[in-house]
Amino acid sequence: MSRVGKKPVEVPEGVTVSMEGSLMKVKGPKGELSLNIVNDVLVQLNKDSVVVRPAGKSKHMRQQWGLHRTLVFNLIEGVTKGFEKTLKLNGVGYRAQAQGKTINLQLGYSHDISFPVPEGIDVKTPDQTTIIISGINKQMVGETAAKIREFRKPEPYKGKGIKYEDEYIFRKEGKKK
Residues 89 and 157 in one domain: yes
Please state the rounded mean pLDDT for residues 11-39. Answer: 93
Of 82, 99, 72, 83, the closest CA to residue 142 belongs to: 83
Please state the rounded mean pLDDT for residues 134-160. Answer: 95
Residues 69 and 98 in one domain: no
- Residue where one domain finishes, among candidates 18, 46, 80: 80
Backbone CA torsion sign across 147, 149, 151, 154: negative
- pTM above 0.85? yes
Residues 75 and 87 in one domain: no
Does 169 map to a domain?
no
- Residue where one domain finishes, among candidates 37, 57, 80: 80
Residues 115 and 139 in one domain: yes
Residues 72 and 143 in one domain: no
Residues 147 and 92 in one domain: yes
Does 177 map to a domain?
no
Residues 21 and 76 in one domain: yes
- Residue where one domain finishes, among candidates 46, 80, 114: 80
Alpha helix segments (H runs only) across 7-88: 59-80
> What is the span of the domain harbouring residue 132?
83-164
- Other C-beta atoms closer than 10 Å to the C-beta of 32 total 13
pLDDT digits (tens, 9 = 90+) for 89-128: 999 999 999 998 999 999 999 999 999 999 999 999 999 9
Residues 51 and 112 in one domain: no
Does 173 map to a domain?
no
User: pLDDT confidence of 79, banded at 50, 70, 90?
Assistant: very high
Residues 123 and 62 in one domain: no
CA dihedral of 68, 74, 136, 95, whole degrees rounded to 10: -110
Residues 106 and 154 in one domain: yes
Domain containing residue 87: CATH number? 3.90.930.12
82 pLDDT more than 80: yes
Query: For the chain, how many structural domains are there in total?
Result: 2
Residues 88 and 25 in one domain: no
Residues 44 and 25 in one domain: yes
